[in-house]
Amino acid sequence: MSSFTKFLNSSIGKKLMMAVTGSFLLIFLIIHLIGNITLFFGAEAFNGYVGALDVVKPLIRVVEVVLLAAFVLHIFNGLKLWIENKRARGVNYKVNGSPENSALYSRTMFLSGSIIFIFLVSHLGTFFWRFNVYDPMGLANIHQYFDIVVYFFGIWWYVILYVIAMVLLGFHLNHGFQSAFQTFGWNHKKYFPLIQKIGAIYAVFMAIGFASMPIYFFFFYGGNQ
Ligand code: HEM
């Protein structure tokens, strides 16, 4: 095993991988939210935005591959760390008392991460799949992407899944943001409280921003299913 692979398999290597992939995903979410805000400006704005993405398709495909790699590595390393943490807990309890905060942190991140994963699979299976691969309603073929979103955000259980996932996303981002800074070693006593505040504002902003879309379309755009 090369020393680089050994490092990636070490505890700090895995944490660094979580922080790097997580930071990339934090940036993706900002761009994704800004793009999706066009939904509030009506069909023409949103269809125009998706159409504009089509023009730079090769670039988008590259970004999507990097994004997929980031998600896979983030989830894979997260699971490994969670399992290690679980195993170590038994030992730690006996050796130096219970690291309860770390146990709670690990459990919260695992739970919120798992629900976000379920959300993501269903999200890609509806929007990404229909926009790019096959839309049984035939709306994507005629570039009526807005109508696909309106259709799904009119389904009550789909809206509930979204809103629950976005609340958990908020918690996940809040923890993850400060955790990434800590891993990068940017946890100076003087500045860390500010980093925590910025992380909390970012997390609330993302959760409310993303959750506002299904809520708006369900309640104010004739949700009826
Ligand atoms: C209400 C909130 C959201 C809306 C309306 C929304 C909408 C969309 C749409 C329309 C697409 C397909 C874009 C295309 O292929 O042209 C998409 C793709 C995607 N979404 Fe979301 N999204 C939301 C929240 C999220 C969240 C919270 C995440 C991550 C946790 C996420 C992750 C992704 C990913 C990874 C893709 C595939 C990459 C891409 O095509 O850009 N989305 N989303």
Give the residue-averaged pLDDT of 32-36. Answer: 98
- CATH code that applies to domain 3-220: 1.20.1300.10
Report, in this order, helix, strand and coil percent for the chain, each rounded to 5.
85, 0, 15
**Residue with the larger pLDDT of the pair 223 and 70:** 70
Give the residue-averaged pLDDT of 135-143. Answer: 94
Give the residue-averaged pLDDT of 69-81. Answer: 96
Atom of ligand 1 nearest to the CA of 212: 1
* CA 171 to ligand 1 center in whole angstroms: 19
**Is residue 224 pLDDT above 50, yes or no?**
no
Burial of 99 (0-12, 13-18, 19+ CB in 10 A): middle
Residue 86 in tokens: 């679980």
Provide the pLDDT for residue 107: 86
The ligand 1 site (C-beta within 6 Å) comprises 32, 36, 50, 53, 64, 67, 116, 120, 123-124, 127-128, 131-132, 162, 169, 210, 213-214
* CA 123 to ligand 1 center in whole angstroms: 7
Atom of ligand 1 nearest to the CA of 132: 15
- Per residue in 52-62, pLDDT (tens digit) is 998 999 999 99
Residue 221 backbone phi and psi in degrees, to 5: -130, 25
Provide the pLDDT for residue 11: 86
Q: Around 7, how many Cα atoms within 13 Å sit in the side-chain half-sphere?
A: 5
pLDDT band at 97 (very low <50, low <70, confident <90, very high): very low
The residue ranges of every structural domain in the chain are 3-220
Q: Where are the alpha helices (DSSP H) in 97-191?
A: 100-123, 129-132, 145-152, 156-183
- Percent of residues, the chain, with pLDDT higher than 70: 92
pLDDT band at 100 (very low <50, low <70, confident <90, very high): low
Please, are residues 40 and 216 in contact by the beta-carbon 8 Å criterion?
yes
Provide the pLDDT for residue 88: 82
Interior angle at CA 217, CA 212 and CA 220, nearest 5: 105
Give the residue-averaged pLDDT of 97-119. Answer: 83
